Amino acid sequence: MPILSARDIVQRFGQQEVLHGVSLGVERGEILGLLGPSGAGKTTLVNVIAGVTEPESGIVEAFGKPMPSLQLMRRMGYMAQSDALYTDLTAAENLAFFGAIYGLTGNALKHAGERALETAHLTVEPGKLAREYSGGMRRRLSLATAILHEPDLLILDEPTIGLDPLHRVDIWEAFRQMAETGKTMIVTTHVMDEAERCDRLAMIRDGVFIAMGSPDELRQRAGAATLEDAFLYFARVEMASTAEGGGAHA
């Protein structure tokens, strides 16, 4: 049974349909990458999965139960595309606030904070406000607040955007370690070398999945040397099929 499944998700903002009925499933311990250009609907989809917005139609189930549910959200972690930090608080105060909402206080909070910062490869200075950190440091602090309560399912929206390549490598190693301990991850990205590190990829373009499979599988099916070429291949196939079908999603 998948840890998370989404079926026929349609999302609309005003007149514009952003997701045209997408479905996916993620198994325990798996890192699923959502790969697509900006505007493809990645953030909209992860927001629906995280329970932050309600879809127009479709069903999301986490741990076998329907979302949104506060009980299930307790076991999920979410890192937004924006840093979503209180920039007028210190790093420790940000961690304390998000920790408190998951019931972490006192020593438990202290230990969880230290672990999360270690995973995010961030050293914080006491008394320094979040707005005084560099963009990359804020990004890592945002990651730390998302993994603080050791969620079983982690939803990460462009987690490494704006990061030093060295930190990016370190953080992906941390993701891999978490996956090995049975944590499940959904990661959006538009960077091909990050996509390479995922167990499975869902290529998304204009609100539909154009391909799904492991990076190797996708390259093979497309007969392409790189994921980038594979993406182009699947995008062209999709465009051809919609043209034939008379614009099924229009």
Partner 1 sequence: MRNAYAVSLRILRQFKHDPRTLFMMIVAPVLALFLLNVIFGSPDYEPLIVTADMPSDFVSALEDAGARIATASDVEALDLVEQGEADAFVTQDGDVLRVWIEGSDPSKTGAVLRAINVAQIEALVSVELDIKPITLPGGLEIDVTEYLPLPSFEPPAAPEVAYVHGSEDMRVFDFYGPVFIGVFVFFYVFITSGISFVRERTGGTLERLMATPIHRWELVLGYVAGFGLFTLAQSAIVVAASIYWVGFPNLGNFWLVLLIALSMALVSLTLGILVSEFANTELQVMQLMQIIVIPQILLSGMFDLSQTPGWMQMLGKAFPVTYGAEAMRAVMLRGAGFGDVAAELAVLWVFAAVFFIGNIVALRKYRRI
Q: List residues binding partner 1 (CB under 8 A).
A: 47, 50-54, 68-71, 73-74, 76, 78, 80-90, 93, 97-98, 100-103, 129, 155
CB of 48 to partner 1, least distance (A): 11
Q: How far is the CB of 109 from partner 1 (least distance, A)?
A: 11
Query: Which one, 83 or 238, has the nearer CB to partner 1?
Result: 83
Nearest distance in Å: CB 233, partner 1: 35
When the beta carbons of 5 and 81 are compared against partner 1, the nearer one is 81
Place of tokens 């629906």: 48
Taking the least distance from each CB to partner 1, the nearer of 81 and 242 is 81
Report the nearest approach of partner 1 to the CB of residue 243 (Å): 36
Which of residues 72 and 195 has its CB atom nearest to partner 1 in the complex?
72
Three-state secondary structure of the chain? CCCEEEEEEEEEECCEEEEEEEEEEECCCCEEEEECCCCCCHHHHHHHHHCCCCCCEEEEEECCEECCCHHHHCCEEEECCCCCCCCCCEHHHHHHHHHHHCCCCHHHHHHHHHHHHHHCCCCCCCCCEHHHCCHHHHHHHHHHHHHCCCCCEEEEECCCCCCCHHHHHHHHHHHHHHHHCCCEEEEEECCHHHHCCCCEEEEEECCEEEEEECHHHHHHHHCCCCHHHHHHHHHHHHHHHHHHCCCCCC
Residue type at 136 in one-letter notation: G
CB of 17 to partner 1, least distance (A): 19
**Which CB atom, from 147 or from 195, has the smaller least distance to partner 1?**
147
Shorter beta-carbon distance to partner 1: residue 101 or 240: 101
Smallest distance, Å, CB 95 to partner 1? 11
